[in-house]
Structure 1
Amino acid sequence: MAFSLWLTLVLACVVISFTPGAGAINTMGNALTHGFRRAIWGILGQQAALVVLIAVVALGVGVLVASSPLLFAIIRYAGAAYLAYLGLRLLLRRPVVAVADAGDAPAPAESRWSMFRRGFWVNLLNPKAIVFFLAFLPQFIRPGQPLLPQYATVVVTVVAVDIAVMWGFFAVAAHGFRRFTRTPRGQRVVDRVFGSLFVGVALLLAFIH
């Protein structure tokens, strides 16, 4: 891949990663609830999903998804349902962080695997990401050149940029407000805000074509 083309790819990835979406919401929620360092596990799950989506598009399966209204609708509604589930779970969750001067120990943190798995499904169950990559990837692939190195370059670039933006911006931005989660009232506010955001993204995914 030519250096000028790669720089264009990097710029495009930066713009895409900074666009608010379910991944950014998930990252900020993790940073607020579990801290900046542990938020990386959710981000890594999201990157694993991106790799799968790029592979799906590269293998041509994405064309089938994009051209089949029924299959697209099934994946779209499954993704919306999962995001709605995450949002409702936050909205209904009872505060688990003890007040500092009450002398109680905080509740156990969510496991790394659980955070990774949640991040993976948040990104994977987004059929519009497949359609997006169908339109995005061909701009940076030259059919007359070996495909594997080109796709490898795209994968490494997309993942590296997204990790940098998610962890270096969204997680950092959210971590600054983590003190609000140290009280039951603050945790309720955070859960309601991010629960509402997840539900809102689910509704957009389900009803906006």
Structure 2
Amino acid sequence: MDIRVKKTLGLIVLTRLPLTQIQAGNNQNPVAVISAGVAIKGYRSESFSLQSPRTNNIKPMSGRNVIPLFYGGLLTKPFWPCRERDSMINDYMIYVTIAITITAIPGPAVVLTIKNSMRYGYKIAILNILGNFMAMVILATLSAVGLGAIILASSSLFSALKVLGCIYLVYLGIKVWRTPHTDKNIQPQSKRRQTRALLSVFKEGFGVGISNPKAIAFFTALFPQFIDPARSFIPQFLILILTIEGISFLVLSSYALLSAVASPYLSQKKPMTFFNKLTGAAFIAFGLALIYED
């Protein structure tokens, strides 16, 4: 079969398409010519053009039927999927770096995890982490479906959420400040009271997470940078949310483990009392920061 090819800046792609898909009929396979800087649909651009070897008629076609790529007339392996894969890996590594940085910086969730781990032990602190995990999933989902943008667009609504978050954190700070040293472990007399106590730890983690409206702003700004609108949304969202939540769980678990190890050295009355007051003051400061920070 005599197939002539036309070079455009050295890039040539052969295609196998039905004869009816070109404007000028002939008994040769058409040749798709792609200029430099333009890629295939599904990778970096929307379409390219088919050109008959005997005519100048051009018709836009999708890139799903593209087969081996030539560069300078030499047959090589298609390079655009590799480029796309490398780009996706680079973007994902950037996202992972951002997630690690954000979750590792001490904030209300970290302080609460340290407090619960030192008071109750590592295993109980996991409930606090799971509560925070659920809150972040809810906020991330709200941001992904567009409700986050609606909340951010309403300054009065966003301010109201910040006030509520401030009230909760200040309340939690006062509660921790006044916590007696004797409540080291959750060992109530009945299973019902034990369940309520464990649920209280979970609710604290959930409350600290859900009371931070700035998380909505963070997710609303972050996700669009790493979601490709040309691809299916749900798989991309699941990868992003599971990644950041998985990293958050590992980071908070590390804080909890280190705190549990250090707990015996702070189990005396004076060190623990000082720690409770320091932790309570930190929660109060976090709450006030929600109001006064821009």
Name the TM-score, length of structure 2 as normaliser. Answer: 0.65
- The question of whether the paired residues in 2 share the 8 Å contact of 1:97 and 1:187 is answered with no
1:20-35, aligned counterparts within 5 Å?
20-35=106-121
Specify the alignment match of 2:256 in structure 1.
171
TM superposition shift of 1:107: 5.6
1:57 to 139, 143, 155: 143
Specify the alignment match of 1:153 in structure 2.
239
- Of 129-138 and 180-189, deviating more is 180-189
1:84 to 148, 163, 170: 170
- Of 139-148 and 85-94, deviating more is 85-94
Structure 2 unaligned segments of length 5 or more: list them. Answer: 1-84, 189-193
1:108-187, aligned counterparts within 5 Å?
108=188, 111-168=197-254, 170-187=255-272
RMSD: 2.0
Structure 1 unaligned segments of length 5 or more: list them. Answer: 99-104
Aligned-partner Cα distance in 2 for 1:118–1:97: 16
Aligned-partner Cα distance in 2 for 1:107–1:146: 49
Aligned-partner Cα distance in 2 for 1:137–1:8: 12
- The question of whether the paired residues in 1 share the 8 Å contact of 2:119 and 2:183 is answered with no
Aligned-partner Cα distance in 2 for 1:84–1:167: 24
Aligned-partner Cα distance in 1 for 2:226–2:181: 47
Higher RCO structure (Cα 8 Å, ≥6 apart)? 1
Is residue 4 of structure 1 aligned with residue 4 of structure 2? no
Aligned residue type for 1:185: K
TM-aligned CA distance change 1:121 to 1:75, over 3 Å = same
Percent same amino acid at aligned positions? 27
Higher strand share: 2
Question: Which of these two proteins has the greater Rg computed from alpha carbons?
Answer: 2
TM-aligned CA distance change 1:97 to 1:72, over 3 Å = closer
- The question of whether the paired residues in 1 share the 8 Å contact of 2:143 and 2:216 is answered with yes
Aligned-partner Cα distance in 2 for 1:178–1:111: 20
Deviations 1:107-140 (A, max 9, x none): 6477332111111110111111101111111111
Aligned-partner Cα distance in 2 for 1:75–1:181: 36
Is residue 191 of structure 1 aligned with residue 293 of structure 2? no
Aligned residue type for 1:94: P
Aligned-partner Cα distance in 2 for 1:5–1:208: 30
Aligned-partner Cα distance in 1 for 2:262–2:206: 25
Name the TM-score, length of structure 1 as normaliser. Answer: 0.89
1:94 to 163, 169, 180: 180
Higher helix share: 1
1:12-23, aligned counterparts within 5 Å?
12-23=98-109
TM-aligned CA distance change 1:63 to 1:97, over 3 Å = closer
TM-aligned CA distance change 1:89 to 1:25, over 3 Å = same
Aligned residue type for 1:188: T
- The question of whether the paired residues in 1 share the 8 Å contact of 2:128 and 2:204 is answered with yes
- Of 38-47 and 112-121, deviating more is 112-121
Aligned-partner Cα distance in 1 for 2:117–2:170: 20
Aligned residue type for 1:26: L
1:197-208, aligned counterparts within 5 Å?
197-208=282-293
Aligned-partner Cα distance in 1 for 2:96–2:211: 24
